[in-house]
């Protein structure tokens, strides 16, 4: 496809979308706009964008596709600005925000003017941020939720999907309310819970500092998402407050239920509670990408001798298998002397497991 693509916000998501579009539509011209000048320059250096925007208004008015990849509150501001511009009649505007209902309400000012706005949410991410972390495979096999207005033509929706074809994502159309309820359950609320667990640990650590060392293993793993961008999650929480407040009410009822089981010492009910949770969790797709970025970790039970780390990483280097992180767990329940290797994809993790199993025979575990 030929045309001009204007990406506003050159972070991880915006940068990765630029790479996907450039790969699939090399004839298109991609213009990038970001308040951070360094991110703009890096995006151009990496070939993610062809040009750096000199004027938000002028580049928006000449664009065939506008992608707003900014925090949700900023997206609302940009939508209002776009509504006052002389945009192309056939321009398509989309966003990448994690909430949709409020953004779609704001975007109705564009829809009422006959401008095509389709809400978008690529449900993928990374443990790193910024355009330096952008990669073409970020969205591969991930769900990409779209929330078009009623009356949006099939041709417009297909054109947007064609522009985004290089993501290799699974496009799913939902209404904005459904989107916020679904992502509230599987993404937004878990972030609140993870943050609350960390706060509880912080409080206990003030009484007994040894807790921070004990939390270095499994606790750190299950609360990883609490390390996400606080500003972004403040915005998401406030944007989806109605759904979150309802989920919190349900959570309080759930906690009261398990509290009563424990208080009365109801062994059968407690076991059944954990069994039902285990059964549902075990049935969840193991390799599909969901709302929260997957962690492709490999736990290796390594012997304690000098040079074991370089030995393991050396074997992976020989096979040209890239690591994103490496760490040693001082303590992890039921597993001791553990090296944790993190990979970009499940495929890389499987290659590493095969390689190390052949080279070392060390016992390995998946998260």
DSSP element (H, E) containing 14: helix 12-24
Q: How far apart are CA 180 and CA 174, in angstroms?
A: 10
C-alpha 21, offset from chain centre:
19
**Residues ≥6 apart with Cβ < 8 Å to 44:** 32, 50, 51, 52
Nearest to 218 by CA among 277, 127, 285, 295: 295
Instruction: Report the pLDDT value the prediction gives residue 332, as an integer from 0 to 100.
Output: 44
pLDDT tens-digit profile of 155-181?
999 999 999 999 999 999 999 999 999
pTM: 0.77
pLDDT tens-digit profile of 311-325?
888 888 888 888 877
C-alpha 42, offset from chain centre:
22
CB 340 within 8 A of CB 323: no
pLDDT tens-digit profile of 52-62?
999 999 999 99
**Residues ≥6 apart with Cβ < 8 Å to 350:** none
Report the chain's C-alpha Rg in angstroms: 23
Instruction: Report the pLDDT value the prediction gives residue 112, as an integer from 0 to 100.
Output: 94
Instruction: Report the pLDDT value the prediction gives residue 336, as an integer from 0 to 100.
Output: 47
* Res. 219: pLDDT tops 50: yes
pLDDT tens-digit profile of 260-317?
999 999 999 999 999 999 999 888 776 555 555 666 788 887 776 777 788 888 888 8
Write out the two tokens for 171: 């496009």
- Give the mean model confidence (pLDDT) for residues 68-84: 95
pLDDT exceeding 70 applies to what percent of the chain? 92
What is the SS3 assignment for 127?
A: coil
* Res. 235: pLDDT tops 50: yes
CB 112 within 8 A of CB 98: no
CB 131 within 8 A of CB 39: yes
Strand stretches in 15-142, DSSP E: 29-33, 51-52, 65-68, 92-95, 116-122
* Res. 331: pLDDT tops 50: no
pLDDT tens-digit profile of 88-138?
999 999 999 999 999 999 999 999 999 999 999 998 876 667 888 888 888
Task: List, in order of start, the domains of the chain with CATH numbers.
Answer: 4-174 (3.40.50.720), 179-257 (1.10.3660.10), 296-366 (3.30.70.260)
């Amino acid at each position: 496809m030929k045309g001009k693509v204007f990406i506003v916000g050159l972070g991880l998501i915006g940068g990765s979308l630029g790479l996907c579009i450039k790969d699939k539509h090399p004839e298109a011209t991609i213009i990038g706009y970001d308040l951070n000048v360094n991110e703009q320059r890096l995006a151009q250096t990496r070939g993610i964008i062809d040009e750096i925007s000199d004027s938000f208004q002028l580049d928006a008015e000449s664009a065939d596709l506008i992608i707003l990849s900014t925090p949700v509150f900023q997206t609302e501001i940009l939508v209002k600005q776009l509504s006052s511009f002389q945009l192309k009649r056939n321009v398509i505007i989309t966003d990448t925000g994690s909430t949709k209902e409020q953004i779609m309400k704001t975007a109705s000012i564009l829809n009422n003017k006959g401008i095509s706005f389709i809400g978008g949410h690529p449900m993928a991410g990374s443990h790193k941020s910024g355009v330096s972390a952008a990669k073409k495979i970020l969205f591969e096999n991930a769900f990409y939720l779209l929330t078009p207005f009623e009356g949006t033509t099939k041709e417009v929706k297909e054109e947007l999907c064609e522009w985004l074809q290089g993501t290799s994502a699974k496009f799913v159309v939902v209404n904005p309310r459904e989107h916020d309820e679904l992502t509230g359950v599987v993404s937004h609320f878990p972030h609140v819970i993870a943050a609350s667990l960390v706060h509880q640990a912080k409080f206990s650590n003030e009484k007994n500092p040894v807790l921070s060392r004990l939390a270095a293993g499994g606790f750190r793993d299950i609360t990883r998402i609490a390390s996400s961008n606080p500003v972004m999650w403040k915005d998401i929480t406030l944007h989806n407050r109605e759904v979150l407040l309802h989920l919190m009410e349900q959570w309080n009822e759930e906690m009261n239920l398990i509290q009563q089981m424990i208080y009365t010492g109801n062994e059968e009910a407690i076991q059944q509670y954990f069994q039902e949770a285990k059964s549902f969790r075990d049935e969840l797709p193991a390799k599909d990408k969901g709302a929260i970025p997957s962690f492709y970790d490999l736990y290796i039970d390594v012997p304690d001798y000098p040079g074991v780390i370089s030995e393991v990483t050396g074997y992976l280097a020989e096979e040209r298998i890239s690591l994103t992180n490496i760490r040693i767990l001082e303590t992890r329940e039921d597993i001791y002397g553990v090296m944790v290797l993190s990979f970009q994809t499940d495929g890389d993790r499987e290659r590493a497991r095969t390689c190390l199993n052949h080279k070392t025979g060390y016992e390995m575990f998946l998260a």
